[in-house]
Structure 1
C-alpha cells in the first residue's frame, strides 16, 4: 500500500509539473502553437508510456533525464538556464533544449525569442559560421528526384496514435506502456514498399507523416527505419528513400538507359568486363605494412549499416537477356579466358537496381536505399520493425543468440546443422549480407555479444527498467560506439593526411545538412573496399601462431558458416585479421574477378552498377573535388603514376571524359598516409561529414548523452571491444587496426573501459 501511495504521489507530481511546464513555457518564452502541441504530445505520451515503470518516473522527477523540467521552471518567471553552451560571449545557447527546439522549427516560427536565446542552434551568430572548418562542398539541400522540384521523395507513413488516446489506452494496460511507444515510432510502412518492389518493379513514392505524434520517443531514441531523425523533414535519411546525388544523373537517353547500353555507343567505353581485365584485376598483392585486415572488414560492416541498394527481381534476367529497364547484361569477349564462350554472345548476368516509382520514364531514373543512411547499428538491429522484433529477446532486452559448440553466435536453427559437411545454418542478423564471409560474421558476432554484455549490466544497475528501456538504451550506446570507432580510428586511416582538412570540425547537429547516402559514394567510392579483399586468410591460435592447414582461400569462406561453427569459432578468424597486413585497394584480386559466386566478377559488377545508376565520368568528379579536369591521359600523371596503366586506360577508353568513376577513382595513387586516392577521399569525406553533421543522434551532439556518459563513450576503442567479447583474448594491438605484433601488443586490462554506472538511475 505504501509503495502504491508513493507511486501515485509521483504521478500526480509529474502531471502537475507537466501541466505547469506547458503553461510556463508558453507564458514566459512565447513558444508557438506548434510547439504547444509538441509539449502536449510529450506530456501525455510520457504520462501514458511510463505508468507502472517507477524508475522512469524517478528519472523524470529527479535525474531529469528526459525533459529536464526543473531546469525550465527553477527560476519562476525566467525559465532560462544561463549560458548552457557558449562559443563566445555573444554566441550562446542559453538553454539545454535549444537544439531540440531548433530541430522542430522554432527558429522560424518563434524567431524573436529563439535568436535571442539560442544563437548557436539557430546558426545566427558570426562565431558559428567562422568556426566551421568543413569545405564549401558540404552545403547540401534535400534529395532531388528530377521532378521539377527540390522536395524530398514523399513516402506514405502509418498514422501514429494520438497522444491523448495513447495515454488513456496505456493507463488501462500498463504492461504495454513502453512497447506501444516503440510500435508508434516505426511509422514508415517499409514492408509494403518491399512488396510493391516485387510486384511493380519499383519503389512506390508515398506521403509523409507527423513526428509530433510520438515526440517523446523521438526526443530520446532513434527509430529503426530512420524516420523523424530530422524533425522538420521526417524522411531525410530514412530507409526506403532515394539516394542523394552530388551531380545529376547521366543516361544514354537522358532518362534511364545506361551509357553503353547500345552497341553503337560501345566505342566510347569498354565493356565493364574488359575494363576489369585490362585495368583492375591483378594477382599482385601490395600491402600497407602498417594497418591490418580488420580495417577492411570493419569497413564492409559499416557500409552495410548505411547502405543497401534495392534490386529488381532477378528471375527474368538470363545471362544475355536484355529486358529494357530491368536487365543490363555485361558483354564478354569470346576470347575471355574465364568467361568467354564458344557460341557468342557471351555475357555475365546483371539485374538493374530498382528505380523510385515515377522516375525513369518522364524524369531521370533514381535508385533506392533499403537501409537507414545513419550510422546507427542497423546492420545489427535491422531497419525494419518486424525484423528487429525477430532478432531481439522480448523478455530481456538482449539480442537473440545461439550457443553452439561452445560458441556464442548469431541466431540460427541448430537442427539444420549436423556436422561440418552437413550444415545449412542460416545465421540471422540485421542485414542479410552479414554472412557473406566468415570475418564479416565475426564482426557481427562481436557487436551482438557487446550488446548483450551492456544490456546485462544496465539491467543490473537499473533493475526496475522495462525490457524495452534496456534494449533502447543499449542500442543507443552501441550506435555511439560504432560512430566513435568509425570517426576516431577507421576513417582517419582511409583519408590519411587529408582527414582534418576534408572533414572539418564538428560544431553540432545541423538540420539543414542532408545525411542521405550519396549515389556516387555507395556505387563507386565506398566500393574501394573490394580492392582490399585478399586471396588467402590466416586463422591464428591464442598464442599468435597460424593454425596448420587452416588458411582459407577467399572463396572457401564465402557463405560457409560451418567453418566457424565446427572449426574454432570467430576467434581464430579475427586474430588472423589482426595479424595480416591490409591489402592496398588500387587493384582487385583475381579471387573476386574470376572466382566469386560462380559466373560473377565483382569488379565488373561495380563498373556496370555505376552505369546502371547514371554516374558521371571520373573527370566530372575530379572537377567537383578540386582537381584539374584532364584533357589528355598524360594530365592524369599526378594521380595515376604508372605510365603503363595510363596507356592501358587510353587504349580502353579513348577519351578522358569516358572513364568510369569506379575505374578512375580506384586506380589513383593513395593520398599521403591514406589508402585511397584524392577523388575517392573527397567523396568519402563528403558522405561521412554529412552523416556526422546531419544526424541528430550523432554521439558528440551534447543533447544525446549527458557529459559524464559522453566522456565514457570517448573511451571506446576497437581493441577494447575485441578484448571484451573474444574468448582467450588477453592482449591486443593498442590501435585495433594496426598489425598485431607481439612486441607492441598491450594487455587488455590496460585499455580504458566504459563505466556503465554513468547510466544508473540510482
Structure 2
C-alpha cells in the first residue's frame, strides 16, 4: 500500500463520482482477511442450513419438528465443509516473558483459561437471550404484521420522525461539557467494537441488489418509508444490510442445539488497547508500521505536511469515476474530520513516545520501543476513558456507586463487548452531536480559510484536513465548542436524520433509523426487559412510563407508536430517560455502560492498574495523563484547557502548554539499565579466575 496523497482528486471524485450513501456506509466497515473468511464461512453455513430446512419443510416435515432437523454429527459435517470449524479452533497460547509483558494484537490469550474472551473475530456476548422473530434469527419487525405482546412494531423511520427529529437550529447547548467529550466517545467505541455487515450485497434467494430493492430477503433488510414521511414519493425505502453472522452461535445451530441463536461478530478486540491505532491482527499491525525505521515508528505520510507535521497514510479505497482515497488502518478514521484528527494525533503521539523512549533506552530494539509505546498508549486510553470520560457521562456519584474501586484482574470475568452495548447503549452520544463542525484558527478565532461546516459536509471528507489547515483547526473547534444537550423534543439533529452522507450524492440516510434497525437486526429485547435486568422498575402503564421519563407527552407518544413499553426499542427508550445528577445518561444507560466498563477493566489481564503490568512509579505517572498535553505535544496548538472534556467558555480561559496544570508524562520511570554496559562496569571487580 503506497503513501500516496492526491487531495484534489479526492475532492473531485466525491463531487463527480455520485457515490451512494450505502457505498460510503460500507466503507466504514472495512475488515481484514481473517474476518472476511470467518463471515463468509458463517454465511455459507447459515444459507446451507436454511436451504435444507426449506426443502424438508416444503416436502414432508411439520414446522414443529424443525429443531430436530440436524443432528450434532450433521452439524459437524457442515461446519467442516463451510470452513467454520477452522474459525472455531481454540488458539494455542504462548508462554514466556513477552506474552506476559505485551498483549497480543488479536486479543487472544488475554485470559489463559478462555483464550477467545475479548478476542477479535468472536461473537458479542449476550446479557439477555435474543428475541428474534423466529428460531432462525429473523430480525424483529421482519414481518410488519408480526405482533409482540399483541402489538406490531412501528417502522423505525416513523419512530425517528416522531421522536428523534430535531431542527438544526432548535437545540440547546451543554453548559458543562465540550464537544471533544462527544468525539472521545466515538473514538473509544472504535477501540472495542466493529460489526461487519453481511459479505453478500445481493439477496440470497432472488439475487436482488440490496441497495436497490425494497423487499426483505437476507441480507437485505430495507428501512421502509411510511406514508406520512416527507420522503414519500421520492423513495420507498432506505437500503440496510444485516450484520454478518458468526460461526460460533450462528443461527444454523438452532437446528441442532435450540439454545443457540444467530450471533453477530466483533471484528476487533474488545479491550481498551488502542487497537484503532495499531490494528487487531498481526498483518494490519505490520502494515501500519514504518518497518524501515530503527525506532519502531508507525508509518506516516511524508508526501504532505501539516506545517511540518505528518498526516496518516492513505490508500485507494473506492473507484467511481476517479479514485477515492482513504486513511489507512481503521476504516472508520474516514467518517468525519474529528476522527481523522484523533487518528492523526495518536499516531504522532506513538512516534513521539518512541523517540523519547529511545533517548532513555538506546539499547532497546525497534520492536521493544514499538511495544513499550503501544503499551503506554493503551494505558493512556484506559486512564482517559475510565477516570475522565466515564464520570462525566454517568455523573460522579453514580460512577462511584456503579464502578467500585479496582481490585485486580479477575479471570472469571468475560471482557467481551455485549451485543446491547455495541448495538444500542454506546450509541447514546448520537443525540449529543452538534449540527455544525467548528474549525478555529490560532487564538481560537474564526478563520475565513476554514469556516465552520454543516456536519454532512465533514463526512468522508479527509481531503479537507489536507487542503484546509490540517488537524489544528478541527481540534480547536472540539475544545472550545460545547456538546449538544439531549432533551425531549431535541433528540437528534436533522444533519443526522435527514442529511447523512448527503454531500456525496444519492438519497441521504437516517442515523436514528439505522440505529433502531440494527437493534432489531441483532434481536435485542425491548426496553422493559433491560430495565428488569438492571433491577429498575418496569413500566406497566402510561403513568408508569411518564414517571420514568419525566415527560407525559413523550410517554404517550411512545405508547401510541409501540402499544406497550415492552416493545420500545431499547436504544430510543434508554436515551429518552432524564439524566442522573451530574451525568448525561439516565438510570438504564448508566447501568449498561457501567456493567460493560467494569468487565473491560476487571477482565483485562493487561489493565494499567494491575501491579504486574506497570511499576508503581510508572502507574503514578500514568495517573497524570492529560489529553490536553497530547494535543500540545503533537500539534501547533499552544493554549489548551486544563480539562479538555469540560466546556471552556472563552479562549481567554485556555492555559499555555507550559502551565503546571498541563503536566508532561515523565518517561524516566521507563528507563532501564543497559545490561551490557552494567556488565562492563562490573568486570574489573569480578573474580573470573577458574580453579583447577
TM-score bin, normalised by smaller chain:
0.7 to 0.9
Deviates more, 1:580-589 or 1:490-499: 580-589
Q: Identify the residue that residue 72 of structure 1 maps to in structure 2.
A: none
Specify which of 503, 509, 512 is matched with residue 403 of structure 2. 503
Q: Normalising by the residue count of structure 2, what TM-score does the alignment of the two structures yield?
A: 0.78
Quick check: 1:341 aligned with 2:240?
Answer: no
Quick check: 1:439 aligned with 2:338?
Answer: yes
Distance 2:129 2:121 in 1: 20
Quick check: 1:650 aligned with 2:559?
Answer: yes
Whether the 8 Å contact between 2:424 and 2:571 is mirrored in structure 1 is: yes
Q: Identify the residue that residue 68 of structure 1 maps to in structure 2.
A: none
Q: Identify the residue that residue 532 of structure 2 maps to in structure 1.
A: 623
Distance 1:414 1:621 in 2: 42
- Tell me the CA shift for residue 415 of structure 1: 11
Q: Identify the residue that residue 213 of structure 2 maps to in structure 1.
A: 320
Distance 1:199 1:230, change over 3 A: closer
SS at match of 1:434: helix
Specify which of 118, 126, 142 is matched with residue 261 of structure 1. 142
Q: Identify the residue that residue 406 of structure 1 maps to in structure 2.
A: 306
Specify which of 655, 674, 678 is matched with residue 746 of structure 1. 655
What CA deviation, in whole Å up to 9, does each residue of 1:63-107 have, x standing for no partner? xxxxxxxxxxxxxxxxxxxxxxxxxxxxxxxxxxxxxxxxxxxxx
| 1:730-745 map, 5 Å | 730-740=638-648, 741-745=650-654
Q: Identify the residue that residue 624 of structure 2 maps to in structure 1.
A: 715
Distance 1:380 1:210 in 2: 24
Structure of greater relative contact order (alpha carbons < 8 Å, 6+ residues apart): 2
CA root-mean-square deviation: 2.3
What CA deviation, in whole Å up to 9, does each residue of 1:462-481 have, x standing for no partner? 11211111100100000000
Specify which of 266, 271, 280 is matched with residue 155 of structure 2. 271
Quick check: 1:760 aligned with 2:641?
Answer: no
Whether the 8 Å contact between 2:35 and 2:121 is mirrored in structure 1 is: yes
Specify which of 210, 230, 236 is matched with residue 111 of structure 2. 230
Q: Identify the residue that residue 519 of structure 1 maps to in structure 2.
A: 419
- Tell me the CA shift for residue 747 of structure 1: 2.2
Quick check: 1:377 aligned with 2:274?
Answer: yes
- Tell me the CA shift for residue 193 of structure 1: 4.2
- Tell me the CA shift for residue 482 of structure 1: 0.6
Distance 1:334 1:629 in 2: 33
| Consecutive unaligned residues in structure 2, runs of 5 or more | 1-30, 46-83, 203-209, 255-259, 502-506, 674-692
Quick check: 1:566 aligned with 2:446?
Answer: no
Distance 1:491 1:499 in 2: 7
Q: Identify the residue that residue 243 of structure 2 maps to in structure 1.
A: 353
Distance 2:107 2:552 in 1: 46
Quick check: 1:426 aligned with 2:326?
Answer: yes
User: How many pairs align?
Assistant: 566
Whether the 8 Å contact between 1:320 and 1:348 is mirrored in structure 2 is: no
Whether the 8 Å contact between 1:202 and 1:354 is mirrored in structure 2 is: no
Specify which of 295, 299, 303 is matched with residue 189 of structure 2. 303
Deviates more, 1:374-383 or 1:717-726: 717-726
- Tell me the CA shift for residue 323 of structure 1: 5.0
What CA deviation, in whole Å up to 9, does each residue of 1:713-736 have, x standing for no partner? 111011112111121x22211111
Q: Identify the residue that residue 455 of structure 2 maps to in structure 1.
A: 554
Distance 1:413 1:739 in 2: 33
What CA deviation, in whole Å up to 9, does each residue of 1:243-269 have, x standing for no partner? 001111001113301121113226521
Quick check: 1:666 aligned with 2:592?
Answer: no
| Consecutive unaligned residues in structure 1, runs of 5 or more | 1-188, 417-421
- Tell me the CA shift for residue 756 of structure 1: 1.0
- Tell me the CA shift for residue 524 of structure 1: 0.4
Q: Identify the residue that residue 496 of structure 2 maps to in structure 1.
A: 592
- Tell me the CA shift for residue 585 of structure 1: 3.8
Q: Identify the residue that residue 583 of structure 1 maps to in structure 2.
A: 484
Distance 1:660 1:202 in 2: 30
Distance 1:381 1:622, change over 3 A: same
Specify which of 285, 288, 294 is matched with residue 391 of structure 1. 288
Q: Identify the residue that residue 68 of structure 2 maps to in structure 1.
A: none
Distance 1:219 1:624, change over 3 A: same
SS at match of 2:166: coil
Q: Identify the residue that residue 241 of structure 1 maps to in structure 2.
A: 122
SS at match of 1:615: coil
Whether the 8 Å contact between 1:202 and 1:356 is mirrored in structure 2 is: no
SS at match of 1:583: strand
Whether the 8 Å contact between 1:333 and 1:340 is mirrored in structure 2 is: yes
Q: Normalising by the residue count of structure 1, what TM-score does the alignment of the two structures yield?
A: 0.71
